[in-house]
Structure 1
Amino acid sequence: MPQTDAANLELITQAAWAYYQDGMKQSEIAAMLKVSRASVVNYLAEARARGYVRVTMHPDVFMEHQLGRELADAFNLEQALVVPDGPTPDSSLRRVAKAAADWLPKLLSSGDRLGVSWGQTVYEVAEVASRAPIEGLTVVQLVGSQVTPLGFAAETCSANLARAFQAECVNLHAPLVLSTADLAYQLSREPVIAQQLQAVRHCNKTIFAAGSCSEDSHVVASGVVTQDELRAFRRKGAAAVICGRFIDADGAPIPAEVDERMIGVTLPEMQNKETGLLVASGIDRAAPARAAILGGYVSHFVTDVSTARDLMARA
């Protein structure tokens, strides 16, 4: 297809509107625009590539899936959404993230305060979230900032979701981990940080991922803990990481010195929310997801078929 000029742009938008909004067939659009059907196919592909059109699937379809119902019943969840596996782990993650992004606005209402975690999974959700304005919504960054070579900064996750929902955004303008507990305590008492932490404590809904405790865990890559510290947590029975903090297989917190040096949401503040949306993809996330669910952090769950089946085997 030649480089798009003003005339072609007009044809692209006309074709996209006729196909997706008016429900016209491609052959009908071709006759209307006086072009070939192949040109219409190209126009629609260009509209998707440019982001003019975003195709979504209704999440209710996947919640009615038998595996989703079984998962919700087995783990006493309000709802579980299970999407088909992708051909690769990365594609499965993208499918799960897109499903979560499409479902999330349906779980939110005016006046809600949505706490947003960090990491690749939450970042992927925020990246694909479609524009869905929610009046009176506040989006809150749950953990302080941390330099990460992977680019999944906490402030990016919260800011992207706030932009998609046209919501007020409360970022946490402090590092996640400081060098001493005293420094963390003093910084948390600064008026600006104290006000932001107050917003963290008053979130009624959350979206988060449960990280693994494997050697390539995100908390190691981002410098929250060292490999030696991670091994020490595993010896204590660590099964998952939520917002930089460790829990065991039953969801109980594993306290450690690093907790006193952190600025962000605490584990008790993450429990028993009105809505706790956990997003997980991959067999290595089944055990962390189970720990998060048993610990009372989860009311709603989005995952893929393989992870759901592994969880059912653990039930």
Structure 2
Amino acid sequence: MARKDTADTVDPRLRRPIPAAFGMDEVFWAAWLYYEQGQKQDQIADQLGISRASVFNLLQKARDEGVVNISIDPSRIARAELSQRLCESFGIAECFILTEQKDAGALHRQIGHLGARVLESRLNGQDTIGVAWGRTVLALSQYLNTVNQPNVTIAQITGSSAATFDFSPVLCTSNIAGRLSARCVNLHAPGVVSSARVKDILMEEPAIREHFALLKQCRKTVFGVTQLEGETLLVTGGFMSQAEVEAYRDLGAVGFASGYFFAEDGRIISSEFDDRHITMPLEDLRAVPERICVGGGPGKAVAVRAMLRAGIASVLVTDEATARSVVDSV
């Protein structure tokens, strides 16, 4: 008797129907049996009629092709005792702490990697997310998984500088938007202009006014933190001159984050530079419900502690050594 054709076929190696939509997609079935049904690789090899090494290769291919996305719940890290101490000391909502790393030279990338997982875990399909600039923010953008969030808006919160192109606001913003398949809105204005009058004129431009109106809708912001002692990204990145940084230090500033300088006690420090700096207004920044700072490393503990006292961040992603130094000095 002739076999009756059906929408699904049965592979004798699998001993189960194979949906026609998947055909003989061994990558999919290896991933399904391993991750969804909890089978061991030897069992999968037997069912698919292939070697255990081939199963391993199929599972790796499933990750590479995006059939499987593996994520670690960062909330487990947030519940650590050190995180709780830091949150209680500074009144922030959450702190995610990277465990001690051997490769300290790449610490900003490791913090950015953890920051990417934190941001992913908090994404809302209608979010407007403000993005600043820096090496750690750029690393975060590079470690984000590729997902489809077309209703999310990624907006640049500070003006641009050609000198900081390697980790510029434009690059950080566009990278995050690209990873999320989200709407990207760049701020088409320089980060620093020649005079307060030029800034006033630019801020009256309709396109600039609309951009800053959009920033008021932000539900999240993502930014780094920079120390002012020693080599600082503000100078090496070409954003400011050493003299301009020294002027802030003379006024008592110890750090910079999301467009603002602050003293060790959390006071915001201003100079004539602020009159020329185009960035999200401080009152709008502090009104954002989730303000995620990614930053840490040698020499940054003082800046991180002062930034938290200034109320600029509500969520901190940092490394263990920095976190301990911050809480031990309270």
Query: Same-fold call, TM > 0.5?
Result: yes
Indicate yes or no: 2:112 matched with 1:93: no
How many Å separate the matches in 2 of 1:281 and 1:10? 44
Decide which structure has the larger Cα Rg and report it: 2
SS at match of 2:267: coil
Partner of 1:195 in structure 2?
210
Partner of 2:95 in structure 1?
80
**TM-align CA RMSD:** 2.5
Deviation readout 1:45-89 (Å, 9 max, x if unpaired) = 455456654432111211121111121112222121222122112
Indicate yes or no: 2:220 matched with 1:205: yes
Partner of 2:124 in structure 1?
109
CA contact (8 A) 1:81 1:301 kept: yes
How many Å separate the matches in 1 of 2:109 and 2:32? 26
SS at match of 1:283: coil
- Name the amino acid aligned to 1:74: S
CA contact (8 A) 1:12 1:43 kept: yes
SS at match of 1:241: strand
- Name the amino acid aligned to 1:30: A
SS at match of 2:247: helix
Residues 298-309 of structure 1 correspond to what in structure 2 (within 5 A)? 298-309=313-324
- Name the amino acid aligned to 1:86: Q
Partner of 2:300 in structure 1?
285
Aligned residues: 307
CA contact (8 A) 1:272 1:298 kept: no
How many Å separate the matches in 2 of 1:28 and 1:93? 41
Query: Residues 52 and 284 (structure 1 numbering): CA distance in 2 closer, same or farther, change over 3 Å?
Result: farther
Partner of 1:37 in structure 2?
52
How many Å separate the matches in 2 of 1:232 and 1:50? 51
Deviation readout 1:100-140 (Å, 9 max, x if unpaired) = 22222443435442211111111111111124555743221
CA contact (8 A) 1:271 1:295 kept: no
Query: Residues 40 and 284 (structure 1 numbering): CA distance in 2 closer, same or farther, change over 3 Å?
Result: farther
- Name the amino acid aligned to 1:96: I
Identity of aligned residues (%): 31
Deviation readout 1:218-255 (Å, 9 max, x if unpaired) = 21123221112222222222111123432111222221
Partner of 2:199 in structure 1?
184
Partner of 1:297 in structure 2?
312
Partner of 2:11 in structure 1?
none
CA contact (8 A) 1:277 1:299 kept: yes
- Name the amino acid aligned to 2:72: M
- Name the amino acid aligned to 1:300: V
Query: Residues 21 and 213 (structure 1 numbering): CA distance in 2 closer, same or farther, change over 3 Å?
Result: farther
Unmatched segments (≥5 aa) in structure 2: 1-23
Deviation for aligned residue 1:198: 1.8
Query: Residues 270 and 22 (structure 1 numbering): CA distance in 2 closer, same or farther, change over 3 Å?
Result: same
SS at match of 1:35: coil
How many Å separate the matches in 2 of 1:53 and 1:156? 28
Residues 1-315 of structure 1 correspond to what in structure 2 (within 5 A)? 11-48=26-63, 53-134=68-149, 136-148=151-163, 151-315=166-330
- Name the amino acid aligned to 1:62: I
Deviation for aligned residue 1:11: 4.7
SS at match of 1:157: helix
- Name the amino acid aligned to 1:182: R
CA contact (8 A) 1:242 1:267 kept: no
Q: Which moved more, 1:129-138 or 1:262-271?
A: 129-138
Query: Residues 52 and 237 (structure 1 numbering): CA distance in 2 closer, same or farther, change over 3 Å?
Result: farther
CA contact (8 A) 1:283 1:310 kept: no
